[in-house]
């Protein structure tokens, strides 16, 4: 059982608690002795940690992804909480409460399942409907509503996959109304299918991990294969089967990001953009939970940039666009307008 979650610890707190070991590194101090640089997690977040004085054997025996009982003390390093570990012992898998270590979607399993079923029912095109209903059988639907959409980067929660897809369905409905060129049922079917195969790509233990099948094939190829298989089984129109397959194959945009082909129909353009947007905004939301000392995040490799989130965080004290600053800015704007008015009057007097 856990005592406190990672987000509840403060500098000075003594620690005797269970965490998943997320990352391990062994390094040298300036004096040449070895130390461990570690990352622990539970369902609420992560804690970075150090263990001074270690051995190569201790490092080799540590298993990433396993739960450890850790004793130590929290201190502060560069404005962030850091756990100094005195000792750690691996916990037997049977003694672990998985729900303590995996973050959950903001929506319950029942809510997600009900909404996915409603979206499936809303597809009126017979061919897309047949394919989707064949793929979303009871077993797959159950997994779809429990799995994460990403291992680390976005919607990395129990139920995150369905939450992400339902968020995209809302955007897809908006664009299907806005642009008459779009085939709504193809767009919605592609949206439901685009990350469907993550239920085969990931596995859930005390963390989200790739399966061997996932590593070998990836969700795009598996999803495409499932559509072809379903299309054949339910005897769907061949062209529609391949159009739906194209939605899955192209949704990452370019080969550089894992798509073997680029979007080539209007529906796949929309899917690529709404998927990317949902991923980026969800990343921002997750990063807001971190302790941002000056409003800036660390370098985000997936986005190839740092983000400024100081202004999106209502608790952040040093907002450069605080209401006080906004007041000053609007006073400056008023002065500028007055000055421009006076210049205009002078110009019209002298007909410049
Ligand atoms: Fe994807
Ligand atoms: Fe996605």
Dump pLDDT digits (tens) for 57-93. Answer: 999 999 998 999 999 999 998 878 999 999 999 998 7
Which residues are close to ligand 2, an ion, with C-beta < 5 A? 195, 275
Residue 74 bridge partners (DSSP): 83
Ligand nearest to the CA of 165: 2
Question: Is 21:64 a contact under the CB 8 Å cutoff?
Answer: yes
Here the tokens at position 295 are: 């409003």
Question: How many CA within 13 A on the CB side of residue 112?
Answer: 25
- Do 29 and 171 fall within a single domain? no
- Do 147 and 260 fall within a single domain? yes
- Do 190 and 266 fall within a single domain? yes
**Domain-located, residue 306:** no
- Do 114 and 69 fall within a single domain? no
Domain boundary residue among 99, 120, 138? 99
**Domain-located, residue 332:** no
Compute, in angstroms, the gap from residue 164 CA to the centroid of ligand 2.
7
Confidence at 343, pLDDT banded by 50, 70, 90: low
Q: Which residue has the tokens 């005797």?
A: 16
- Do 248 and 170 fall within a single domain? yes
What percentage of the chain carries pLDDT values higher than 70? 88
- Tell me if the pTM is above 0.85: no
Domain boundary residue among 234, 264, 286? 286
Domain boundary residue among 99, 118, 137? 99
Give φ, ψ of 41 to 5 degrees.
Answer: -145, 160
CA 42 remoteness from chain centre: 16
Q: Which domain holds residue 203?
A: 103-286
**Domain-located, residue 217:** yes
Compute, in angstroms, the gap from residue 128 CA to the centroid of ligand 2.
19
- Do 209 and 265 fall within a single domain? yes
**Domain-located, residue 299:** no
In SS3 terms, 215-267 reads as HHHHHHHHHHHHHHHHHHHCCCCHHHHHHHHHHHHHCCCCHHHCCCCCCCCHH
- Do 108 and 77 fall within a single domain? no
pLDDT in tens, 140-184: 999 999 999 887 677 888 999 999 999 999 999 999 999 999 999
Q: Look at residue 205 in the predicted model and tell me its pLDDT.
A: 79
Residue 123 pLDDT > 90:
yes
Compute, in angstroms, the gap from residue 252 CA to the centroid of ligand 1.
6
* CATH classification of the domain holding 279: 1.10.3210
Confidence at 296, pLDDT banded by 50, 70, 90: confident
Q: Look at residue 44 in the predicted model and tell me its pLDDT.
A: 86
Here the tokens at position 255 are: 């080969």
**Domain-located, residue 176:** yes
Q: Look at residue 351 in the predicted model and tell me its pLDDT.
A: 47
The total number of structural domains in the chain stands at 2
Here the tokens at position 161 are: 């996959």
Q: What is the DSSP string of 73-120?
A: EEEEETTEEEEEEEEEEEPPGGG--GGGTS-B-SS-HHHHHHHHHHHH
- Do 83 and 107 fall within a single domain? no
Longest dimension (CA), the chain: 89
CA dist 26 and 197 (Å) reads: 36
Compute, in angstroms, the gap from residue 188 CA to the centroid of ligand 1.
15
Cα dihedral 217, 222, 228, 229 in deg (nearest 10)? 100
Ligand nearest to the CA of 218: 1
CA dist 327 and 331 (Å) reads: 6
- Do 83 and 114 fall within a single domain? no
Compute, in angstroms, the gap from residue 149 CA to the centroid of ligand 2.
7
- Do 117 and 265 fall within a single domain? yes
**Domain-located, residue 312:** no
Strand, coil or helix: 213: helix
Question: Is 70:62 a contact under the CB 8 Å cutoff?
Answer: no
**Domain-located, residue 174:** yes
- Do 65 and 135 fall within a single domain? no
Q: Return the closest-CA partner of residue 101 out of 201, 194, 205, 193.
A: 205
* CATH classification of the domain holding 65: 2.40.50.140
- Do 78 and 206 fall within a single domain? no
Here the tokens at position 169 are: 């369905």
Compute, in angstroms, the gap from residue 159 CA to the centroid of ligand 2.
13
**Domain-located, residue 194:** yes
């Amino acid at each position: 059982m856990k005592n406190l979650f990672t987000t509840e610890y403060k500098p000075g707190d003594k620690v005797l608690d269970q965490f998943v070991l997320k990352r391990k590194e062994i390094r040298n101090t300036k004096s040449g002795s070895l130390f461990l640089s570690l990352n622990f997690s539970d369902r609420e977040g992560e804690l970075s940690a150090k263990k001074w004085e270690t051995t190569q054997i201790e490092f080799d025996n540590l298993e990433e992804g396993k739960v450890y009982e850790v004793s130590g003390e929290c201190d502060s390093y560069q404005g962030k909480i850091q756990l100094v570990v005195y000792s750690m012992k691996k916990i037997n898998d049977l003694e672990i409460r998985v729900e303590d270590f995996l973050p959950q979607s903001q929506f319950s399993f029942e809510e997600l399942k009900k909404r996915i079923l409603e979206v499936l029912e809303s597809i009126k095109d017979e061919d897309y409907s047949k394919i989707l209903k064949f793929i979303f059988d009871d077993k797959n639907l159950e997994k779809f509503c429990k799995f994460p959409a990403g291992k680390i980067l976005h919607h990395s929660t129990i139920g995150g996959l369905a939450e992400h897809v339902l968020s995209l369905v809302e955007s897809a409905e908006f664009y299907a109304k806005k642009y008459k060129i779009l085939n709504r049922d193809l767009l919605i079917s592609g949206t439901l299918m685009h990350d469907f195969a993550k239920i085969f790509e990931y596995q859930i233990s005390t963390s989200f991990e790739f399966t061997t099948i996932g590593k070998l094939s990836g969700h795009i190829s598996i999803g495409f294969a499932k559509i072809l298989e379903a299309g054949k089984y339910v005897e769907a129109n061949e062209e529609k089967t391949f159009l739906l397959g194209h939605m899955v194959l192209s949704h990452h945009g370019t080969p550089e990001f894992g798509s073997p082909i680029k979007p080539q129909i209007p529906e796949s353009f929309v899917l690529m953009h709404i998927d990317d947007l949902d991923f980026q905004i969800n990343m921002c939301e997750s990063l807001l939970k971190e302790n941002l000392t000056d409003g800036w995040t660390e370098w985000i490799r997936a986005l190839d940039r740092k983000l400024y989130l100081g202004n999106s965080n209502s608790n952040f004290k040093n907002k450069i666009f605080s209401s006080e600053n906004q007041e000053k800015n609007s006073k400056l704007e008023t002065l500028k307008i007055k000055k421009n008015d006076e210049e205009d009057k002078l110009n019209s007097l002298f007909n410049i």
